[in-house]
Structures are given as C-alpha cells and as structure tokens.
Structure 1
Amino acid sequence: MIVMKNISKIYSRGDKKVEALRSANLTVNQGEIFGIVGYSGAGKSTLLRCINMLERPTTGIVKIRDMEMTSLNDTQLQQARRKIGMIFQHFNLLSSSTVFMNVAAPLRLTNTPKKEIEKKVSELLNLVGLSEQASAYPSQLSGGQKQRVGIARSLANEPEILLCDEATSALDPETTDSILELLMAINRQLNLTIVLVTHEMNVIKKICDRVAVMEKGLIIEQGHVIDLFTRPQTPTAKKFISTIIDTQLPDKILEIVKNQSIPGLLARVGFVGDVGAAPLLANLSSQFHIQPNILYGNIIEVKNTICGSLIVNFIGQHDKILKVIRHLEKYGLQAEILLDVKQSEVITEKSFVERISV
C-alpha cells in the first residue's frame, strides 16, 4: 500500500544543515494500523508528513499503490491527497464554524452538491458519535469530541489512508482509549489503512499491528508489535517497552539469588498467546531433575493477544538447564539467559553454550 525507499530529509537553518531523516525504508500493508514511535526529535512526524508530501523528501521515493508521490506536481498532489486523510494533535478545527460545517469543509472545496454534503456529514457524525453536536461550535466541545470532529472531517473524501500525528497526546487516558477504540472500528469497517505517530507505548500496544522505532532520523527497528514487546532488539525499543513492562528484577531478589550456594542460571522466559508457561515449568522437576523457581513476572495484552515474561531461577546443572531451555523453545516459549547464579556473572546464551560444551 505505502512504500518508502531511502527517504532522507535535510533542513537548512542558516549555515547549518539538519538531517531530520536518514535513509528511511518503510512498507505499510493495506488495511493495517502501523505505528511510528520515537522520542521528540526522532523524525517520526517528518516521516509521516512525507507520505502525503506535506514534507517533500530531499532524496528517496514514496509510492502509494502504483503512484509515485515524489514525482507528482502540485496539481497532481492536490488530487492525490484527497485519498489521504490526516488528523492532528491540536485538532485544527475552524473555531467560527459549527461541527457540521467543519466536517463539510473538504466536501465544499470539491464542489460537492449540497444534498450529498448533508447526507455524507450526517453519516460521518453518526459514525463518530456526534450526531447531537452538529450545530455546536468547537469551543463547546471537550477534547475528545474535538478529535472526533477531526476524524469525521478526515473521512469526508473517503480516503484510503488515514495519517495520525500524535492524535491522542493532548487527551486524558480515558478519552485516549475511546479515540483508539474509534480508530480500530473505522479500520475494521472501512478497511482503512492507518499510520500513526506517537511517543506513547500504550497506543502502540492497544491498536497497532506493526511498528517502526525511530531515533535521530533513523528507523532502528521495525516489525510486528508482539515481537517488539517480547523481543526488543535495540536499547531505545527496550526503554519504550519498560514504560509498559518492568523487565528488571528487583535488586533485593537479585541479591538473594546471587548469594545462593548451589549452581543455577537466571533466565527470562517469554510467552505469547495461550502458551501456558507455568504448567510447563512445573513439569520440569520430574522430567529433567531441574528446579524452576519463578521470581518475577509480567503479563500484558497487546492488541487482543496475551504475552508476558517470567524471571526464573533454574536450579541445577548447566547441561540439564540447556536441555530445559531447548525443551521450552519447542513449545513456543523464548528463554534468555541472564545470569550464572553461582559465579554471579552476567552471561550470554552463546558463552553459556560454549562453556558447557568444553
């Protein structure tokens, strides 16, 4: 649906040049909700605005279906943008116009007949739950209602793509959830492709199918959201995940583990979906003569999928623990070795395997 290849964006500020995007590559599939997450200044909003050419890339290609957006002139772009809706953090409503008139504005610009406008606006206000506020003005609305007007307006020209630039950042948590529920409903009902920028992992967790993580103009990690939460690859992704899941073992418990006199390994065991980690662990004692001691755990829901991680102290011989880890992996669990308990040494699985293979 959307393909971005080697996108860079350089701004000139006096004698200085600022590289906002560096060789960004991204593919968004038809009908999915794709998230772009990063800290302030990472380049995520610039990348989003390159999709509809509100920011023209310095280099690179943007394609929507078979249309190369980067090759269009201003007139062609104006036509192409009608199929790309956009909503903003601060709503951008016309303060002197009613809710009805705000939603009707894009249709008036295309000279849509009055009867069609009335029918379309009524349908959209019903879709976003604002039929009774049609004659109200923006100053009379709550923040959530204003954003619903913005969403209705963005859908007026029946777009194929909806771009959301920090659309929930100005809203309280309860209102944010209601807006996210609305976006998911629109995605399902209209098969609308949604690309959203955010710095809030709760937004990514709740509605996104896939996600890209940005840092200093680079896309440093991307993939399915469930993979990001269960197997983050970069320090920045891990920091974002830690705002949702506390993956660090409390120091008090870690100190107790380090002081035990019997051999063992500390590991993080991750699971996704209906894989039951606890029953599998409970059966290890009789099967492998290993004692698994669950020290800490987190369970969350990522877009209707349950996932979580357990910090487990496997007490026993190292070669048997390695067999246990391979056994767990066969059942879809992911095990990451964190610490050699007896040596109080942080190790990797590679070094662990090399050690016991000698």
Structure 2
Amino acid sequence: MSEAAIPQPHPSPGQKLHPFEVILRLCAKTAPQPWYPRVYAQSIGISPDALYEYLEDLWLDGLVRKAGGSPETGPGVTLTPAGRDVLDDPAAMRRLREGRAVIAGDRGGIVREVVRRSEKPVVSRILLGVNLAWFLYSLYLAWVESGAMGFLSSGFLGDVDHLDDILARSGALSGQFWAQGQWWRLATSCFVHIGLLHLGFNMNFLFQAGKVVEQMWGRLRFLVIYAFAGLGGGCLAVAMQPQALLAGASGALCGVIAAEAVWVLCNGRYLPRSLAARWRGNLTTNAILIVGISLIPGVSGWCHLGGALTGAAVALVMQVQRFGPSPWRWAVLLALVPLPWLGYGLIEHERATNPHWAPIHRLPNDDPR
C-alpha cells in the first residue's frame, strides 16, 4: 500500500504525513472515543486490510491499543499514553517516520527496523564482488592452461584433465593440502567455484538471502557469521571427506540461512504475525531445498551441515551480544575464540581415526588429491 492511500488529516501545505502519523492523528482527533478503522476505510473507499498492517506495527510499538466496537463498526483503536507522547515529541515522530525504534534501545523497535528500513547491503555486495573476481582468476588459469570450456561447464564439456589442477591453484581444499600444512585453504576454498552453474547458484543465493540477513544482523555481525560459517563448513567437510577437492561458498551460505532462522526464532514475536509466519515458511522451503541439494552426488553435504551448525552457533552469540544483559554483551564474544580450535581438533581427530584419511597419508607430499 502506498502512503497516499490513507487521506491525511489537515496536513500543512506541501506536507506529506507518514501513514503511522496519519493513524495516530486520527485516533487523537476522535479521543476520548475510539477510532474505527473499518468505518474509516469504508468512508474513503479502501479495504480495511490496507490499514491493518500499520495498525499492527503501532500496536507492537505500544502506541495504540484495541477498544470495543460493534458488528457494524468493528473493533476500535485508541491512543496509549506513549502514543500521545510521540505525537507531542517531534524527535520521536521523526524516528517513527524513518522506521527507527521510537524508544532508543527498545528491542522490539530495533527488530522492526529490519522490515521498516532498507539499508544498502554493503558487505553482501563486497562478498559478491570478491567471489566474481576469484572466479575470473580461475577462468584465466583455465584459459591459459587448457581452454576455458571444461572449467566453465564444471567438467562436462571440453578438456577436463586439468580441472582439479586449476581448482587447486585457485585455492580449493583437500585432505592432502591440510596434511601439507596449508590450513589457509579453509578460507580460500570458500571463494573458489567449479563452473558457471556452481557460481550462478551460489551468487544468486548470496544476493537474495545476503541482503536480508545483513539487514537483520547488521554489517559487522553478518560478516562474522559468514566467515565463521565458511570455516566451519570447510572443517567438517575436509574432516569427513579428505579425498574430495572442496570448493564453493555453500558452507558460508548455509550458515547465513541458519543465522536467519535463529533471528526469526529469537525475535519473531516482535514482528507482525503474518510477516513472521511468511519468514518461517520461506526458511522451511530453503531448508528442504538445501537438504535435497546436499544429497546430490558430488555435493558436499558435510560442508552444508558444518556451515549451518557454525552459523547458528555464532548467530546465538551475536543475539546475546546485541540484546543480552549489558555485562554480557561483549564478554559473550569470547565464546567465538574456541571455535577455530574446535575445528582444528575435529580435523586432527578424524585424521588420526577415520579410515578415509589412510590413502591421504600414503600420497606423496606434492599430490593435491
């Protein structure tokens, strides 16, 4: 619904009121009697549903409350003392118009900023650019060495004999590389992609989900979640699949989706019910899609699982850091310190006990498999 869909009660010349302010002023105009949204909507020829989204937001902010009505009028709405204060406070009204929390630090208001405001997804775009640049580097290596078609088609067309070598030179991860001490490939492998289809799917996912989750958590928290999830996915994948050559942003992206789920589960009660239900439905669909993709031969389900578990764990830490009691908000970040060591310990444990690592130990040191 556009803001102009609600006629404005006597604005100043050239002034355009936000629907929130329009509703508050209409409630103030009828006080002490309730204002009836259904009657008002019928009088100006719009659907009452056009008002209910705004009314639910104002109710969640504690600025209006429900009042009695009749079958003809429907339920009424009256201002709360907080609503009257906002009408009298230009600074508070400005925050309301801008989609910010009316009361500074109010958790519900901060949560609702995610749907009321639209921030530029800077981190998501930077990550998208880095992934694309990395792919172009891999494409250059493929073109110089054996032609680009085999690489672009993920090995389905053209010369595929050098594909593993190109991926290895681009920064892909395997158990042999780990055994050689090349731990940094846990990070670089998150930016390596095997062909256009692999890149296109992951980058579309990053573009669509990244801008939403970055808005939810904020830029720095989103970057921390993405980075830890990528490392967590790589740790579990190389521990359980040491003979595979691992590449792609899938682990980090599964962590992003897990972080979105944590945010909705922890903060959904502060959102309009229809929106929270829609988000839960989308998350369920994404989870089913990811599980299905993880079962495809050649796809590392372990990477997806590791990324999702790590992303969820880091998101819980970020939730406490953002909304927890003041003494714990920064201390809780210490919980992130052991995570890299847990990943290292997992890989070394599997390396010592998992029979899949035995062939790795017999390979010469310069064999990348």
Which structure is larger by alpha-carbon Rg, 1 or 2?
2
The TM-score range, normalised by the shorter chain, is under 0.3
Per residue, is there more helix in 1 or in 2?
Answer: 2
TM-score (norm 1): 0.23
